[in-house]
Amino acid sequence: MFVVNKKQKFAGLIWMFALLSVAFASAAPAAQPAPRSNGLAQTPPVGWSSWNNFGDDINEQIVIETIDAMIANGMRDAGYVFVNLDDGWQRYKGARRDHPLEFDPKKFPRGISYLADYAHQRGMKLGIYSGPGQTTCAGYTGSEGHEAEDARMFANWGVDHLKYDSCCSHREAPKEELQKIFRTMSNALMTQKHGIVLHACHCGWGDIWEWAAGLGVNHWRIGQDISDDFNYPGNREQYYFDVLDQLDRGVGLEKYAGPGHWNDYDMLIVGLDGQSKQLVGTGASNIEYRTHFSLWAMVSSPMLVGADVRKLDQYSLETLTNKEIVALNQDPAGNIAHKVRDDGDLEVFARELADGSHAVLLLNRGAATATMTFSPRADLQAPMDRYSIRDLWKHRDLGTYDIPFTTEVQSHEARVFRIRQLATSANGRSVSDAAEQELAR
């Protein structure tokens, strides 16, 4: 008689399990990680980050004054709730194997949780910075090998956002290696009770847009660091991207972004005026900064102001606090603007908004003022017989149109409009005409 003893039974089970695993593995779709969501950043993070102006020269006083200034100047109420410490909050420079990760008590005498509380009490959020290496990009201790411990520490401090920066290294590394880096931190953050938005700062290497959302990353840089330039010929120092470089880099990547996971075109340079202690570049004109801001809103990039908000001039403040433009960035549908027309220097970008209206941006990259025309039928492939137009920089309704809309756009300017299809009522008057007349009375 064939007797099966316990040991054989056990071995048999193991074999069965192994065979089943192989069968399942070969049936499963290859490589692509299953989508994961931490439920955060349903609209792109909007706020301030210390790096573009201050570099690593930051401290508690700057952060508190920044929060106070953002409340006093209307930025918080316009949607700027994140206040993010970038590199330089750490106590030690050098490898993590030689030093712990702690806040610098000279720069932050009351610690990070004091600042998180200070922000939270005022309806704002606090962000922090680290990286997957032994050191961060500015040479401070990184998180390598201590991801779980650091995630716990950040969560205990009440931190709401983590910029996790690989310093644009590992350019040629296999995707699996890159994924492991960001997966490890994402998993560590997801086990915390306190939700922390994860920014993978990785210069777009390894086609990060294809896989980062699947790891639970909320936004990822698509290109190299921004410089304080609108359109510098080539790349400054053969590395930096100006505003138009970032914009062009994003063309084709629209489909990877949406609620909870965004293409990040890097921090805003509005108001730096070539004065940054940290960024290269000679600054841009008021119009160019406004164009940059409008574009970042249209593509729903995170919008983190890099300037010293305690000293913003009136024009920059008006640019940043244009609630109608911020609303495009924060539109709950999360549709990213596409370039719908490219006539050399004259380009049209458009996106559909949650309420069915469309945002349209006319960009003139050329050196002279140009006349530009926008046609809903041709540019949106939307058969709008009658539509209303609102100018989002002039804050004015321009009226009702049934023909293409023509206007002047200055050199390097972006005009931004919200257009709405009008239903026609039985008596031939458009419903919206009637509503506008109501308003005028």
Contacting residue, 62, 69, 148, 167, with ligand GAL by CB under 6 A: 167
User: Cβ closer to ligand GAL: 80 or 220?
Assistant: 220
CB 293 to ligand GAL: min, Å = 18
Say whether residue 272 binds ligand GAL (CB under 6 A): no
* From 160, 225, 245, 266, active-site residue: 225
CB 227 to ligand GAL: min, Å = 11
Which residue, among 98, 168, 102, has the nearest Cα to 137 in the 3D structure? 168
User: Cβ closer to ligand GAL: 302 or 376?
Assistant: 302
User: Cβ closer to ligand GAL: 225 or 273?
Assistant: 225
Say whether residue 86 binds ligand GAL (CB under 6 A): yes
User: Cβ closer to ligand GAL: 167 or 327?
Assistant: 167
Q: What are phi and psi of 222, to 5 degrees?
A: -100, -10
Which residues on adjacent β-strands are paired with residue 82?
Answer: 47, 125
Q: Classify 322 as helix, strand or coil.
A: coil
Neighbour count for residue 414 (Cβ, 10 Å): 25
User: How far from the centroid of its chain's Cα atoms is residue 377's Cα?
Assistant: 31
Token digits of residue 415: 């005009």
Known active-site residue 402: no
CA gap 29, 419 in Å, rounded: 42
Contacting residue, 51, 232, 256, 405, with ligand GAL by CB under 6 A: 51
Which residues on adjacent β-strands are paired with residue 197?
Answer: 161
* From 56, 165, 229, 264, active-site residue: 165
Known active-site residue 225: yes
Say whether residue 137 binds ligand GAL (CB under 6 A): yes
Which residue, among 166, 228, 217, has the nearest Cα to 188 in the 3D structure? 217
Neighbour count for residue 214 (Cβ, 10 Å): 18
Q: Classify 17 as helix, strand or coil.
A: helix
Please identify, among the stretches 33-41, 163-171, 237-245, 391-399, the one whose residues bind ligand GAL according to the rule CB under 6 A: 163-171
CB 421 to ligand GAL: min, Å = 41
Q: Report whether 107 contacts 60 (CB < 8 A).
A: yes
3-state helix, strand, coil in the chain (%, to 5): 35, 20, 45
CB 57 to ligand GAL: min, Å = 12
User: Cβ closer to ligand GAL: 253 or 380?
Assistant: 253
CB 218 to ligand GAL: min, Å = 16
Say whether residue 64 binds ligand GAL (CB under 6 A): no
CB 16 to ligand GAL: min, Å = 50
CB 165 to ligand GAL: min, Å = 5
Neighbour count for residue 440 (Cβ, 10 Å): 6
Each residue 191-220 as x (binds ligand GAL by CB under 6 A) or -, in order, gives ----------x-------------------
Q: Classify 397 as helix, strand or coil.
A: strand
CB 65 to ligand GAL: min, Å = 21
CA gap 248, 236 in Å, rounded: 16
Q: Which residues have a Cβ under 8 Å from the Cβ of 44 and sit 6 or more positions away?
A: 219, 262, 300, 301, 302, 303, 329, 330
User: Cβ closer to ligand GAL: 225 or 242?
Assistant: 225
Say whether residue 165 binds ligand GAL (CB under 6 A): yes
Say whether residue 69 binds ligand GAL (CB under 6 A): no
Contacting residue, 138, 299, 305, 370, with ligand GAL by CB under 6 A: 138
Please identify, among the stretches 161-169, 239-247, 395-403, 404-412, the one whose residues bind ligand GAL according to the rule CB under 6 A: 161-169
Q: Which residues have a Cβ under 8 Å from the Cβ of 345 and sit 6 or more positions away?
A: 364, 365, 366, 370
Residue nearest to ligand GAL (CB): 137
Helix H or strand E encompassing 436 = helix 431-440
Contacting residue, 63, 83, 87, 219, with ligand GAL by CB under 6 A: 87
Q: Which residues have a Cβ under 8 Å from the Cβ of 335 and sit 6 or more positions away?
A: 351, 352, 353
Q: Report whether 253 contacts 220 (CB < 8 A).
A: no
Please identify, among the stretches 162-170, 177-185, 227-235, 386-394, the one whose residues bind ligand GAL according to the rule CB under 6 A: 162-170
Q: What are phi and psi of 269, to 5 degrees?
A: -110, 5
Please identify, among the stretches 164-172, 189-197, 231-239, 280-288, the one whose residues bind ligand GAL according to the rule CB under 6 A: 164-172
Q: Tell me which DSSP letter residue 198 carries.
A: E
User: Cβ closer to ligand GAL: 140 or 349?
Assistant: 140
Chain residues binding ligand GAL by CB under 6 A are 51, 86-87, 136-138, 165, 167-168, 201, 225
Enzyme catalytic residues = 165, 225
